[in-house]
Amino acid sequence: MNPLAQLSGVDDLEVVRRSVVAADGNTFVLVQRDDSRFVLVLGDSSGFEGEDHGPSGGRLCPLTPSTLARLRRRLPWLQPVPLGLRTSFGFGDRLGLATPGHIQSIRHTRGGTDRIAPVFAQQSVRENSRTGRTPRQVMDDAAWAVFEHGWRDPWGADADHLKVPDDVSDFADAGFTFFTIDPGDHVDDDVDGTHLEAKVHDLPWGSLEDSLDDLERRFLSSPFDLEGTAVPFDRASLWGAAAKYGRAVDHTAQMYHHIAATMADRPFELEVSVDETDTPTSVSEHIYIASELRRLGVRWASLAPRFVGRFEKGVDYIGDLEEFSQQFALHAAVARQMGPYKLSLHSGSDKFSIYPIASRLTNRKSRSPGPLVHVKTAGTSFLEALRAVARVDPELFRSVLAVSRARYERDRVTYHVSADLSRVPRPENLDDAGLEDLFEQFDAREVLHVTFGSILDRYGDRIRATLVRNEQAYADVLTSHFTKHLADFAQ
């Protein structure tokens, strides 16, 4: 039976038709009365807290965590799941309002719903501390949007850039299924000096369940066969890889086993991220990382090397595309041979020049559909939020720009960015028509991107209220932006 046909006696309510769903003889639908939203439960409403709605015979339930928890038990697609080796795309949402636009962008991308698995809930500990949000809020904001917009396909939830075991439990309790380990603090980029031998001997061999002799026996006895091409290790390259990444491998293994114990019998997947380091990850170093993690019993779905060139926030790739293509092809070969697992592009937003390269070199049409790739974005959705604000409330955006300019030099410290503040116009020098032009300008994008915490501290409530009043305008700018991101990966 068409669930819409069951909606009688709701003339006093505004029905969000795309949310209507029937399950086990019950109907659930998002409705609005005056300025308040509810879930209307028709049928068995046991366990749902709310008020009886006489005309329909249902129950009106407020949009609370308790209501969502009950819905999840009835509607399993409201829960994120591990996405495995499907081509995937991480949509960061610093405001909790972007998921409708993210859903719309996938639906507007030809082949998007079939070929790309979305990560709708994605936030790092660093981002949560700057936005004042909790893992539970991040998860629930995404799940409510999934319900409202009728998304039924699998989706993921990424606890991003976890650095210490204490970071894990809040994300696990909130239902996250994708954990990104960031061992960057344990990577030693200075391995070319005279202290290399000492650094190798000082590695935590006991924790690594290894010895230097055994390490050399594994790697130096014969070349590594990379899809028919021999990649030889000598002592210098092996010691360099071990000195640079040995402690990071040890930390990653400890984090993985902690996550596994925390999750108990709940399914999850892992990403390993070594992208936030000063020097690129060579192919031999990638082989070392993957080999040693596998030896220590770690299982992962994706890995983010530090690629050549610069992956700065909110702007296109900076570097030699031919060099990137050559190196990326080798990393893709390692991921196929040592896994298979996906290569992950961190700070992946707006890197339009490399999307065709990444898609082509990780594509596996002969084996299963789609590229072996994960793209991770965060701040670009926030930039699109500010674009929407500039469009509907120019004076609020001018205030935002003033705060961003004032805070840039302090807030940029934890990011790899190179914007020159002197090239970002002062707000009083811009007319309304010129405000959106800032979002096409390199320096302005980076300045606005990395100062999001300061912006939200000062104007967060006004920005959110503006976007709620202009929900479709925000969804539309996100759709326009992300369909350009997704097109190359949905081929």
Q: Decide if 12 is catalytic.
A: no
List the beta bridge partners of residue 53: 58
Marked catalytic residue, from 188, 250, 269, 271: 271
CA distance 374 to 321: 19
DSSP 250-279: HHHHHHHHHHHHHHTTS--EEEEE--SSSS
Tell me, what amino acid is at 475? A
Output the pLDDT for position 451.
96
Query: Which residues of the chain are under the pLDDT cut of 70?
Result: 1-6, 365-369
Q: Which contacts (CB < 8 Å, 24+ apart) does range 331-335 have?
A: 331/281, 331/283, 331/286, 331/305, 331/307, 332/361, 332/362, 332/372, 333/226, 333/227, 333/229, 334/226, 334/283, 334/286, 334/287, 334/290, 335/290, 335/303, 335/362, 335/372
- Domain coordinates of the chain in residue numbers? 3-65, 78-191+215-379, 392-485
| Number of residues written out for the chain | 491
pLDDT, tens digit, 9 for 90 and up, residues 97-128: 999 999 999 999 999 999 999 999 999 998 99
Separation CA 91–CA 308 (nearest Å): 24
| Rounded-to-integer distance, Cα 22 and Cα 209, Å | 53
Instruction: Please give the class, per CATH, of domain 78-191+215-379.
Output: alpha beta
Q: Which of 160, 250, 292, 350 is catalytic?
A: 160
| 3-class secondary-structure state, position 343 | strand
Q: Known catalytic residue: 160? A: yes
